[in-house]
Chain A
Amino acid sequence: MENLILIFISTILINNVVLTYFLGICPFLGVSGKMESALGMGMAVTFVMTLATSISWLIYYLVLERFGLTFLEYVVFILIIASLVQIVEMFIKKYSKNLYQSLGIYLPLITSNCAILGVALFMIVKEYSFLESVVFGFSGGLGFSLVLMVMAGIREELDFADIPETFKGAPLTLITAGILALIFMGFSGLGGG
């Protein structure tokens, strides 16, 4: 139990997927302009990431490893994620119109979101157990949402600032992310590294 809490906190604050592993930078740069879309994207990613890590874990250890097919890891994982996104999209379209309206447009973008595949791969590298992997996936998604929303908050304020023409757009976002990463380094004392 202690172990799970440690993974939960360290994945959100210390080893944040965006700021430490550089996963999901494309949506991070693209969607973090408005708070509302950041929230939608964050929720969709958290949802798919939790499911994707659980299913990938089961397939990796119960099928691929048992039959010595681990070299197929990447092909299998990307197929799991792509089909999962498709199923989730169809499912919420049918059962929840409201949820579909808020998450719908973000779902297709998630297949090419490196954070999902990245978390699934890191889970294998770190040799987590099933329960640890589920927590890892869920907290990875929460960490992504947290940084996305903090960033959106900052960028909404920056819209009113007077910025040199050269730095407008991507450069400013990247530099802001750099300063944010510096701030998050302050958390690294929490879990003892």
Chain B
Amino acid sequence: MKKKELLKGLWSQHPIYRQLLGMCPTLAVTTTAINGIAMGLAVIFVLFFSEFVVASIKRIVPHQVRIAVYTVIIATFVTIVDIFLKAQFPQISKNLGPYVPLIIVNCIILGRCEAFASKNKLSNSLLDALGMGVGFCWGLFVLGSIRELLGAGEILGQRLLPLNFDPLVVMILPAGAFLVLGFLVALMNQVERWKI
């Protein structure tokens, strides 16, 4: 077990801000912080179990059909998450809509299965999944918080800005998602440049 496998997903190889993976859910569901967290948790679950299965069966899957096999494994876990959310948290399931099934084609999951779990030990794969999943989750939370704060003056439903603040509705609309993410990625670049 290596600590660096866990930590790399949190900052140095952050899935959203560094590798620009999994853009659809990142942009689509982060209208509020709570939606961001819900999507993040769903991705952690799917990523963890997919990497677990892929790392366990890597020796018996023929090379030519591996992508198809991985996709079916991922789709199975996504179906579990979807049914669970529908039964237990109908409101969140409604907010996220078709973006829950779209986790299947989220490039983070297939990407980590192919690039990491299919080549590494089971224990390291699980750490990698946790690190990447938690990294993805905080990335969504930050993006969702900024958009919710500027677009509605709240974070997690808590009023933070004074009531006479005029919400920038555009932040909740699609255009705001692109703009905020663009500036966040630029900020990350700048932080890296200061380090040098």
Interface residues of A (CB under 8 A from B): 19-26, 29, 71-75, 78-79, 82, 111-114, 117-118, 121-122, 125, 165-167, 170-175, 177-179, 181-182, 185
Contact = CB atoms under 8 A, between A and B. Distances in A.
A17 to B, nearest CB: 10
Contacts, number: 116
Interface of B: 20-21, 23-24, 27-28, 67-68, 71-72, 75-76, 78-79, 82-83, 97-98, 101-102, 104-107, 110, 170, 173-179, 181-183, 185-186, 189-190, 193
Contact of A174 (B24, B67, B104, B185): B185
Given A74-B104, A112-B107, A22 B27 contact: yes
Contacts of A117: 101-102, 104-105
The 5 closest A-B pairs by CB, nearest first: A178-B178, A174-B182, A25-B23, A171-B186, A175-B182
Given A112-B105, A175-B179, A177-B178, A82 B98 contact: no
Q: Is the interface of A mostly helix, strand, loop or mixed?
A: helix
Contacts of A25: 23-24, 27
Contacts of A179: 175, 179
Q: Is the interface of B mostly helix, strand, loop or mixed?
A: helix
Given A78-B104, A118-B98, A181-B175, 6 more contacts: A78-B72, A82-B68, A112-B110, A114-B102, A178-B179, A181-B174
A75 B181 contact: no
Given A171-B182, A178-B178, A114 B98 contact: no
A148 to B, nearest CB: 14
Given A25-B27, A122-B98, A111 B176 contact: no
